Structure 1
Amino acid sequence: MTIQEPVTARPAGRPRSEKAEKAIIEATLDLIGEGMGVSELSIEAIASRAGVGKTTIYRRWSNKEDLVVDALSTLKAPLPVLGGVSVRDDLISLLDAMRSEAGQARSRCVMNIAMSEADRYPRLMDRFMKRAVVPRKEAMRAVIERGIGTGELRADLDVDLGMAILSGAMLWHTKWGPAGDLAPDLAERVVDAALAGIAAGTP
């Protein structure tokens, strides 16, 4: 009598390789970081840099734009944990996350793509905005609206304008400000300058 070993069914399809996916994402970011625009970027170049076949990429991403969105989204650090104690402290935390990201060479390529290729790739930028930018905007909006509710900020404050003042000041410093002006206290200085105009009790 022969005892047969139990047969374990194999899951359909090939298992996803985290190592391969990481190599593909890294290769995409490397090429973009070296100055290659989205229009110049090719699946062939990414596959060659990552050391994988094109079919490995196409099993995970149906097209180049999907891959670029996922790659760029990895550059955005998770939202900082907000203490919720004071509006000032929470705004500093949010803006300091912008400062930290801008200090990384790879992260700067996100802004370059956003400013130079948005018109050519509207779908790509729309999806990237939804995945990586909108959550940060919503977090800042929530903090400002909370500040209005608690009386920390002016009751008549235009929330969108307040967000533009804060994020715009950080953008200027990170993109067009003096070289090396990403000091650890930059977010604090921006928030304090903004609060001088939007805090409760100001004219």
Structure 2
Amino acid sequence: MDKHHNTGEPRRGRPRSEAVERQILQAVITLLEEGVSLADLSIERIARTAGVGKATIYRRWAGKEELYVEVVQSMESPSPPLPGHSLRDDLIAMVENVRRRSAAKQSSALLHNVFAQMQSYPKLWSKYHSLVIDPRRELLDEVLRRGVENGEIRAGVDLEMAGDLFVAPMLVRTMMRPDTELPGPELAERIVDAVLEGLRPAR
């Protein structure tokens, strides 16, 4: 993740205006709602719709890929802060966020359509992963490592595989069985408890 997204510091030394950024993000959403495809979006058209100059956009985003990723983030459910009370609570919060984001994609035709288009653009899809997916996975890995250090997960567990075990059941429900209704937060609790049972140190 780059410095701009990590710290919120201005790009190229220019002051950021949240109101102008919201205006630009909304302009992209408006164009997408009107049926403009990602292929047909241009910085010129976005700037004209937002009522700003192209330079205003380029001061905030290096290119269309970064702008589109932030547009998608603005339409997704934000990641809540982790409770920090226990390994179980943090894992439930993370798995529940997967459910919320997946439910949002199911209920939003626009979001579903944008994701379908994004996957046709390898550079954009890669940028989405590096700015959105990878940091979430790194946080999950950190939570699991703390679990090992605290003795809540036995030493020697393949943490990459363990992370997959927590997230995969929710993804299967949404990607492989998209017509299945997603139950509430209790599903995240059941998944976490089932996987944790297999990862705890032997009693």
Is TM > 0.5 for Structure 1 vs Structure 2?
Answer: yes
Partner of 2:192: 191
Which one is further off, 188-197 or 71-80?
Answer: 71-80
Work out whether residues 25 and 71 of structure 1, in 8 Å CA contact, stay in contact via their aligned partners in 2. Answer: yes
Segment of structure 1 superposing worse, 139-148 or 178-187: 178-187
Structure 1 unaligned runs (5+)? 1-12
Distance 1:159 1:35 in 2: 42
Q: How far off is 1:108 after superposition?
A: 8.2
CA contact 1:174–1:182 (8 Å) conserved in 2: no
**What residue in structure 2 maps to residue 126 of structure 1?**
126
Q: Secondary structure at the match of 1:196?
A: helix
1:197 partner amino acid: G
TM-score for the superposition, normalised by structure 1: 0.71
Q: Contact 1:103 / 1:182 at 8 angstroms: preserved in 2? A: no
Structure 2: which 5+ runs fail to align? 1-12
1:60-105: CA deviation from partner (whole Å, max 9, x where unpaired): 445322321332344462452331x422111001111222223335
Indicate the residue corresponding to 2:81 in structure 1.
80
- 2: distance between equivalents of 1:35 and 1:163? 37
Pairs within 5 Å for 1:24-39: 24-32=24-32, 37-39=37-39
User: For residue 143 of structure 1, what is the aligned residue in structure 2?
Assistant: 143
The one-letter code sitting in structure 2 at the alignment partner of 1:19 is A
Residue equivalent to 2:89: 89
Identity over the aligned pairs, expressed in percent? 37
Count the aligned residue pairs: 188
CA–CA distance in 1 between the matches of 2:153 and 2:109? 32
| Higher relative helix content | 2
Structure 1 residues 139, 55: closer, same or farther in 2, change over 3 A? closer
User: 1:152 is aligned with what amino acid?
Assistant: E
Which residue identity is paired with 1:87? L
Q: CA offsets per residue over residues 39-72 of structure 1, 9 Å max, x none?
A: 2333344345434454543454453223213323
Q: CA RMSD in A?
A: 3.5
Match of 1:8 in 2: none
Deviations 1:151-176 (A, max 9, x none): 22232321010111111222222333
Runs of 4+ in 1 over 6 A off after TM superposition: 106-112
Does the Cα contact within 8 Å between 1:153 and 1:199 map onto a contact in 2? yes
> 1: distance between equivalents of 2:67 and 2:104?
21
Cα distance, 1:147 vs. partner? 1.8
Q: 1:109 to 1:154 in 2, by over 3 A?
A: farther
Task: Return the letter of the residue paired with 1:29.
Answer: I
